[in-house]
Chains A and B, each alone.
Chain A
Amino acid sequence: MLTFWDSFEWGIWFGGHLLYSCGGVYRLASRDHAEGWLGTVSCEERALGRRRFWEEFQSEPMRAKLEGMLGLRGLAPVAEGTFRLRRCDLRNQAGKIVCRLEWTAVCAGAKGEEQLLHSCRVLPLLGYEAEAARVAQYLSGQGASAPEDEPVRVLLRRAGRLPREYTLRPAFGLEMETPAREAVGRIVRKMLEIAQGNMPGILDDLDSEFLHDYRICLRKMRSVLSLVKEVYPAEGTRRMRDALGDLARQTNRLRDLDVYLLARGHYLGLLPPALRPALDEMFRDFSAEREKEVRRTASKLRGASNRRLFLELTEFFAKQTPHGPAPAADLPVGPLVYRAIYKRYRKIRSIAAGIGEDTPDETVHQLRIEGKKLRYLMEFFVELLPDKEGGAMQKVLRRLQGRLGDFNDASVQQKSLLDYWRRKRSGSELGLGLGGLVSILYQNQMQARSLIARELEGFCDPSTAAAFKRIFKLPASAPATDGQRTGRP
């Protein structure tokens, strides 16, 4: 019996491969069917226990291929079935093989109780296509019909697990004229659906990305409610924002621990080898705390109050739920969004103007938060942006946000490592390792700061400013002064 494995995002399937295990051997095959329904095996590996992440595989080709298709994602079984495969060669009069016949019987379940498919394929050898076509024609004449679907897909369908593209940036089908409440509702409903889709993975603790994505969905929902203002009555909006904030807060600590544990290799790499063992204790503490935190978070997520919050969110944003009037509810969303984008951009430019060597960290954080709002706006409403310029703007913004993120990460990490040390206060070895790490993170933070200045120049330069103005500044607004048109304020 074969067990097929893939990640939540179907990384292996969409990477053009199949991963299956049988009798303790994992095989990775390309999904090209040239050599049969189970593809062409490109690597295999004997494994005693279950493998979840690409790092757990031993052979280099397997690791390299899986790393690309899985990233941080974990493997879970997606279908099981019994494949019976028989092959035979058909030869011409000279005894040369001209094509191969492959019979496949696919059964669900370990004992092959239910036969799902019985098929025979004609696999021509290169240069003998005409002979193979004659064989296929003969078989059709005998009543054979072409299979509607490939066996692996049949098996997946039966398991109710058809591969689906997964994205955190879905299309919402928005237009300039879509009423704002309808637009925001669509975005929230979609993000809510994705958040809930990630919950089983968090409960099973399959990999760290379920929680990561779940939190992003919550943050995005919360964000869209404040970015496009006054589309629902104020009181309800506030209640929903609070609910989303509460939901996110429950998972803060677990996410922090995930981040530290994922960065383990990175942290150790920053330190000279002699200092590395000193951090073992800290990572052991983090792992132990994570064990507890996973259970705590899971019980919260399953809990009644959580279910109530989700129910409330679902009901509030349901299409048919009646709401009282709100100033922007029926306005077309396009102009609202354009105005909001332009406002954010100008705000970033005004903060950016004050950024220098000795700006306090808080100001840089403020800049990052404003940048994030702008990024979300442009992401949610990407369908309303002009293709070419919108893409270019997002690219510049992404680069800036990347630098700001580096800066923020380094600063937050220093703080939390020092917090850990203050709580712990034991062992000079650990102190030495932590001290080293904090110093390097500080250097990184300083380096990131100098890079931010460079990215800001690009983001705030007159041509980018002019482009933002041309596209997003609506005619109804007051005319721009010369200073705004030509340079940084």
Chain B
Amino acid sequence: MKILSCYSIKGGVGKTALAVNLAFALGEAGHRTLLLDLDPQGAASFYFRVDGADKFRMRDKQSLAEGLRRNIRESDYPGLDVVPSHLGYRHFDILLDGMSKRRSQLRRVLEEFKADYDVILIDCPPNITLLSENVFRASDAILVPVIPTVLSRRTLEQLAGFFKDQDLPAKLLRPFFSMVQKRSKMHREIMEELPAEQAGFLKTAIPFSADVEKMGLHRMPLLAYARACEAAKAYRALCQEILSESGL
């Protein structure tokens, strides 16, 4: 079982679009996939039309695993289940704080799902907290969407700095370009420079697309309603790249 997470400190960069479409593509490719929506905004759950999770008590590793399992919802698409978001996940931090080995507790919880899934994909909240750190330590790869702009470049550097400070392996970070506009000179330039400065960049870039923005209207993954558009093709290519790199 591989654990992949979609993460960005900055909002509005295509993080949830990545989680939703990658989850769909993984399931479609025959991998039993669980999408864990840890972002309290619950956008991924919304796209899959899944209501918020039922409340459950998070006292320890066991109750957390049981609570998550009780909240698994089969999506409308093959091979893909979803654990919807819940406002209570805000308390994750406090819960984790109270546990021993508090920085690696999430990995232990997710190991309980090993028999049922090939991939667990986590949509993370856009901030750096104890929960994010747990997600980092649980993940086999952290997928970071980067819009080729100056500001995004800066946040990526911040994230790399945080990894260094916390002694987290830098090779977990797998950035890729998101919402790319080929006609923008600045986009093209940053896309040339940044991969040389920051290691681990995935080759596939996701183009900016009005179709992606319509996901909210359709309430389904882009890949389910506009399979042939450029962005959809790019998500599938990204999925293939991740699969071949993670040895799945």
Contacts and interface: CB of A to CB of B under 8 A. Distances in A.
Interface of A: 89, 94-97, 125-128
16 contacts: A89-B76, A94-B51, A94-B219, A95-B49, A96-B48, A96-B50, A96-B51, A96-B76, A125-B73, A125-B74, A126-B73, A127-B72, A127-B73, A127-B74, A127-B81, A128-B73
Interface in B6-62: 48-51
A364 B72 CA distance: 65
Identify the interface centre among B50, B51, B74: most chain A CB within 10 Å of its CB: B74
Contacts of B71: 127
Given A94-B51, A95-B49, A126 B81 contact: yes
A128 B73 CA distance: 7
Contacts of B81: 126-127
A126 B83 CA distance: 11
Nearest to B71: A127
A97 B74 CA distance: 9
Contacts of B74: 125-128
A125 B76 CA distance: 8
Interface in B60-80: 71-74, 76
Contacts of A94: 49, 51, 219
A97 B77 CA distance: 10
A125 B49 CA distance: 14
B46 to A, nearest CB: 9
Nearest to A94: B49
B49 A96 contact: yes
A124 B48 CA distance: 17
A127 B68 CA distance: 11
A177 B73 CA distance: 61
B57 to A, nearest CB: 19
A367 to B, nearest CB: 49
A88 to B, nearest CB: 13
Contact of B219 (A89, A95, A125, A128): A95
Contacts of A128: 73-74
A421 B71 CA distance: 73
A96 B74 CA distance: 10
Contacts of B48: 96
Contacts, number: 25
B27 to A, nearest CB: 13
A452 B72 CA distance: 58
A89 B77 CA distance: 12
A203 to B, nearest CB: 45
B219 A126 contact: no
Contact of A97 (B51, B76, B219): B76
A279 B74 CA distance: 58
B40 to A, nearest CB: 19
Nearest to B76: A97
A363 B48 CA distance: 76
A110 B101 CA distance: 66
Contacts of A96: 48-51, 76
Contacts of B76: 89, 96-97
A43 to B, nearest CB: 13
A186 to B, nearest CB: 47
Given A126-B72, A126-B81, A127-B73, 4 more contacts: A96-B49, A96-B51, A125-B73, A127-B72
Contacts of B219: 94-95
With most chain B CB atoms within 10 A of its CB, the pick from A94, A96, A97, A125 is A96
A178 B216 CA distance: 79
A127 B71 CA distance: 7
B73 to A, nearest CB: 4
B75 to A, nearest CB: 8
Contacts of A126: 72-74, 81
A395 B161 CA distance: 65
Contacts of B51: 94, 96
A98 to B, nearest CB: 9
A95 B50 CA distance: 9
A97 B71 CA distance: 16
Contacts of B50: 96
Contacts of B72: 126-127
Q: Which has the most chain B C-beta neighbours within 10 Å: A95, A96, A127, A128?
A: A127
B65 to A, nearest CB: 16
Interface string B209-240: 00000000001000000000000000000000
Interface string B120-142: 00000000000000000000000
B35 to A, nearest CB: 13
A128 B51 CA distance: 11
A95 B73 CA distance: 14
A95 to B, nearest CB: 5
Contacts of A127: 71-74, 81
A1 B73 CA distance: 36
Contacts of B49: 94-96
A323 B50 CA distance: 79
Nearest to B83: A127
A128 B76 CA distance: 12
Contacts of A97: 76
Contacts of A95: 49, 219
Nearest to B73: A127
B23 to A, nearest CB: 15
B68 to A, nearest CB: 12
Nearest to A99: B74
A349 B219 CA distance: 80
B178 to A, nearest CB: 27
A95 B49 CA distance: 7
A96 B219 CA distance: 10
A201 B201 CA distance: 64
A96 B72 CA distance: 14
A456 to B, nearest CB: 46
B58 to A, nearest CB: 19
The 6 closest A-B pairs by CB, nearest first: A127-B73, A96-B49, A126-B74, A125-B74, A94-B49, A97-B76
Nearest to B46: A94
Contacts of A125: 73-74
A39 to B, nearest CB: 16
B55 to A, nearest CB: 15
A93 to B, nearest CB: 10
